[in-house]
Structure formats: structure tokens, C-alpha cells
Structure 1
Amino acid sequence: MTVASDYDRQSSEPTSPARPLYLDYNATAPVEPRVAKEVMAFLTHEFGNAGSRTHEYGQSAKERVNRARDEVARVVAAKPDEVIFTSGATESDNLAILGLASHAEKTGNRHIISTQIEHKAVLEPLGILADRGFDVTLLAPEDGGWVSADAVAEALRPDTVMVSVMAVNNETGVIQPIDAIAEALRDHPAIFHVDAAQAFGKLLSPLTDPRIDLLSVSGHKIGGPKGIGALVTRRRGFKRIPLTPLMYGGGQERGLRPGTLSVPLIAGLGTASAIALKEAEDRLSTAERLRDSLIEALEPLGAVTNGDLDRTIATTLNFSIPGLDSEAAILALKDVVSVSNGSACTSRSYEPSHVLSAAGLTADRVAGAVRMSWGPGVTELPVDHIAERLKRLI
């Protein structure tokens, strides 16, 4: 059986010369062909600088950047001028957190609430602020891998300047109750930051809540190119969020992110955003079907899901099989599917997952955790081959 991919014609047959089916979309997704075509056009034909005002090339580039702002903004019901282009969600997270430090110090509000299961792009900047004297509260997740809105509400203080909670966990796929947290913050002035790297273009409604002040976006998680992302900075009335830039020089992006705009990458992010919004319903239907087929195939092996399945996004499944080590599983599956056992950003450390450990899972279950994630371009999963290979290891 050949598993079709609209992007790279992968095969599920162990003996096929084709590469294994790529199932590590939470690390990065293949570039959507329509996106790649536009990126190439702006690399080779419409190559102008969006800051050049004296000729057609610059004007064309500027118009495409403006249209991309609108395409990104539409996904989260923001305004185009609230979109700041960055190199990716990591930079956006840093700008949101470290960029707020000066305001926090001036006002004396130096308390920040976040969670133990955030991406390192959030946890490490928070650690820097903690070293500078900020009081950082990291909330523990419930057993199912999500942080309750009640816990956030209980942790709020008069001097809380920011609440930062991811929308979807990158390791487990568990959806955090962003809408409920936003409601808990209605009457509190704290700035609400959401790391939406794994949710943007996939989880639509919760990200449109106007109570979300700052929202981090990654292009390469939704079929856009690597090296591009955005920070959505919603106004409160007529007031902008008081961020200070991390770099200086040039004044681009309202002075928050200077440097010549990468028009090809921005165009790619815009197109990827527009496609994700237009095709969201079909993508969700396919993803749910794939997840259900994988769960059914793994059930006879005694697989347990790491994270509340009722709260998990349809494009991710993190599971453990009793007695099975994740490294052995990945090796056994390497010519069938390419999968992961944790965050690609920290995989070189070979440390137990801080996300799964925070959720209270046993050491054996954490060591056996395998993450499979998929997206557009994957229409079938080689579930029989996956189950067969894993069964040999039990």
C-alpha cells in the first residue's frame, strides 16, 4: 500500500525505495507547493525592498507585505496593523516577554504567570526575567496535561503584569483552555500572551478572543517557509501594548523589529495563512480520521495516550506502550515513518520531557513516549505497518 502525499510522494511500504512517511509535523511541516511557488516568485522576480518608495519593485513588495498582514490577521480576527513580522514563534515569544520588561519595571508590576509545560522559547526568557528579580509563577498541569483557568485565576495578584499560556502543547497536542483563561482575565489588567505556534491555522475560534493581547505565530508549522513568523499585538481600545524592541536600527515593523523585511518569506506566510483558513474544515476532518485509525491500530498493543484525548488537537498523538522504550520504537519504525519522542528544539539534550514529567507521568511512561504528528499532504497512515513493527518489540 502506498501512502499518498501531495507534497513528496512518500510510501508506507518497508521495502519501498521511497523515503518513510514524515510524521513529525509538530517539529516542522513541508512547505505547501502553492506557498513554495509564491516564495520563489518573490525571490527571483518580485525581489524589491518593501522599504523602497521610489520605484515599482519596492511598491510591489510593499503591497505584498501589506496583503500578508491582512492574511495573517484574518486567521485570528485581528487588524493588519497589529501584525509584526518576526523570524518565527521563538523570536515572537522573546519579544512578547522580554519586550514587556521595561514597562513592568517602570510600573512596579513584576509578577508573571505561566505554566510548567511551556516551550523553552517561553520558559527561558522567563528564567532571564526571574534572574532580574521578577517573580515568576509556573503552574502545574492537571493529570490530562492542561492547566486550568481556575489555577490561573487563583495565582493572579495586583502586581501581575503578564499571563503567558500556550494554546496547544507541542509534545502532547493537548489544547489549553485559552478561552476560559481569557474570561478569567476580563477584569484584570494583566497582558495575556499566547504562544500559538502549534495552534495557528489549526485551532481557529479560541485564538480570535479579543482578550488575547499578544499571540506568537510560526510559519513553518502550517506549510509556510522556515524563518518567518509573527507577533500579533492587539490594541486595547486605542492603546498599543507597551513593548520595547530587542534590536534597534531601521525602524521597520513600528520600530519593534528592525531590519529589511524578507518579502519572499512574508509572502509565504501570508499564503500559508490564507490556505489554512480556507481549508480548515477539510484539514480537520482528515486529521480526525487519521488519528482515529492510529488509535484503533495501537489499542491491541496496550498503548496509553499521554494527554487527555478529549482535549487533544487532531493532528497529534503522543502515546506510550508498556515495556517499550521510545528510542527502540523510533529505530524500529525508521523506514516506515519518521517520528519523534519530544520537542525538536531540545531533543539533543536527551533529557526526560519536562512536559510529561510535569504532568506526573512515571519515568517508564515518559521514557516510552512517542509523538506522531501530521498535517496537509498526509491522507493515509500506514497503521498496520506501524502496529506490526511495534508489536515485535513487546
Structure 2
Amino acid sequence: MPREECCGEMMEGETFPWWSESQIRLQEELREFVDERIERAEKLIWQRKYPLEFLKEAGRRGWLGAIIPEEYGGKLSEYGYTGSCIIIEQLARLGQISMQYVVTMCDARLIMKFGSDELKREFLPKMAKGEYLGSLTVTEPFVGNDAAAIETVGRIEGDEIVIDGKKRFITSLGVSDFYMLLVRTSDDPDLIKKHRHLSMVIVRAGTPGFTIERINELIGFDNIYNGYLDFNGVRVPRSQMLGDVGDGWKVLMGMANYERTLASANQLGWMAEALRYAVFHTKRRVQFGSPTIDLPTNQFKLSEMIVRYKAARLLTYHAAHLFDLGEDPAFDAAIAKYFNTEEGINVFLEAIQLMGGDGLTRFYPVESYLRNGKITQLAPTTSEIMKVVIYRFGLKALEPILEAPRRRIDDELGVPVTVGFY
């Protein structure tokens, strides 16, 4: 079914007034790129084969250099953070390969912000071309959202860091060329209180003592490898540390808001596809003599799905634009991440409901969006943590409208009125 007959211009991906001509062209190019590869992508999902070829081609086209400065072979001035969200929104339509893009772009941001000139020269040009793909390596068997409590040890021995420990729930393990690893470099109580007991270091794939322990079978992410990593006396040069010893927490926080924004953009691709199939099915499905899309109840469901999708795009690209303006928008990124993952689940559930039994089968990909969406409620960062962030930053951000009202009884009318704020 032609796209325009299915969901109209909405499915073409709207632009925003602040988008540049380069970003608008990027969206058009990506949409064509994805449309031509959806069949291949779905075959790889059925075969449980990692879709590395798409990322490699994206690298050749310069899309992995969206936030990398031109001096390192990137296209920051052309695409920027908004461009990186445009890229992931469309790549998400090819399946979960977009999650490798998320972690690689976050690694690029950290190297740009905290890496030495040597690390920048070595890693960024290859990352921009898709020759180096990265992973983020924080979660452990007994540590999740409380990243400050990690147990993997990084002992400083001269010019080397010796690493011992385990990490789990690591995306794209076995495929990534390097791993951004958070380690504990001190047990000093005073440093722990100041979050100065952690360090971030790059570990290359194939380093002696660094092995894959096992692969997880997750509810979703069908052909994206995820699992446990083991570090047994792994030695890496101290020059592969980002920042100084004890800067690990600061480094980790340097990408958290960007990671949340990218995760929000990822949801957009799945939400759009869920809408596509819901409209497609209800236009074709005839019950009681009419297409089911003519039923007011189904129209209400589609209306709500459209509202959620539109609002999700606005929140995502607003946060991305703030990054392009040089900000690090914790509040806006948290709202986008929370809203998009939670409302994404609602969109997927409604799409399945509109499709009836067909929505439950693997004949259509909608059920996979629901399974993947459940994972994104937990990672990166749970919805509950996002609500904590929204509360903490929200009260301060909204101070001007939260001034306490001054109320009194009007002398003339004898009724309560507001006389000011304090």
C-alpha cells in the first residue's frame, strides 16, 4: 500500500521551523534509505542476525558523525544534535539497530568533552565513518540505576589501569570495537561522598582478559546482542581514561541527558510504524459492512495515538535543539524520555487493539514494538528515575508560575480573591 494512502503526510515526518535545509534533506534521504532496506532488515530479525551492515553504510554516508566536529571528519555544523535525532528516528524503523547508534553517539560525545587530544584524533574520525562502534558499560550484576555503587575495580598501577569485575545488560557486546567502562578507582569514604571514586576508561575489544561471559535472551531487541562481560586482570593504558582519576561520575553525567534524548527519538520511529499499521489495518478490515476505521471508537483511538506521536516529536526535537544551542537540558531530556517511553507503550497497545488478533501475531511487526518498548521503560534509565529528575528540576524550572498566592476576603464583596504572589 502506498505510504500516502496509509497515513498521509504525517507519516512522512514533519519538520520544525528551526531545522536547517541540511537537516530537512537529511530526513528525506534517511526516509528513502530506510524504505529501501526494510525488507532486508526484517529478514535479519527473523534470522537473528546482527544488522551491522546498516550502521556501516550509515557511517559511509557520514551519519555517525552528526555531532562530531568537522576537524575530526564529522558533520556537526551540518547535522548537529537535531540531525542525530532525525537519524535515529528513521533507523529505528529498521529494528533495534538504532540502539547501537545511541551508545556510539553517546561515546562520541564523551570523547569530545573529556577525551585527550590523542583519543579524539584516534577515535572520532573512525567513529564518524562507522569504522569504530562503541558500547556503554555501566550496569553490573548487583548495580543498576545506582551507578555510583559499581563494584568493578580499576587499580592504578603506574601507567596502566588493571580492571577486574563484571558488567551485564550491555548492548551490542561482541560487535562493538570498544567499550566505555565505568570503574571504581577508590574506596575512600570521603571520595565516595563526593562521587570522586569512579573513573571512565576505554577498553578495546580483544584486550587480554576481556571476555563475553554469556548472551541474554531479552523480551525484545531480537537481533541485537546483549549480555554479560567479564574483566579479569584487564590492563589498559592510563591514556585511555576520560578525564582524570575520579572524574568518572562527571563523565557519565556528561552524556546522560543526550542518551535520554536519543532514546526518545528512537521511540518516534516505532510509534510512527505502529500508527502506519493501525491505519492500514482498519482501512482494510471490514466488519458489519464497513471498514473498521469508520467506527467512532476506532477513530478516537487513532486520534489519541496521533496526539501522543505529535507531542512526543515536539518534546524530542525541542530537547535536541537545546543541545544545538549549547545547553545540556536535563529537565527537557527527562520529560521527553519519560513521555515517549510511557506514551509509546500506549500507542503500541492501541495499535494491537485496533488490529485485533492480527496485532498479536508476528505476521506484523507491531507486537515487537511493544516488546521493545517495555525494555525502554527500563533502559536507558527507568521511568521512575525520570520522574525523580523531572520533579527535582521541574520545581526550579517552573518557579515563576509556582509563586505562592496571597489570598484574602474582599471587604466589599465578602468573597475570597487573589491579591498577589510571594
Shared fold (TM-score, shorter chain, > 0.5): no
Give the alignment's TM-score, normalised by structure 2: 0.23
Larger radius of gyration: 2
Instruction: Decide which structure has greater strand share.
Output: 2
Give the alignment's TM-score, normalised by structure 1: 0.24
Instruction: Decide which structure has greater helix share.
Output: 2
Q: Larger relative contact order (C-alpha < 8 A, sep ≥ 6)? A: 1
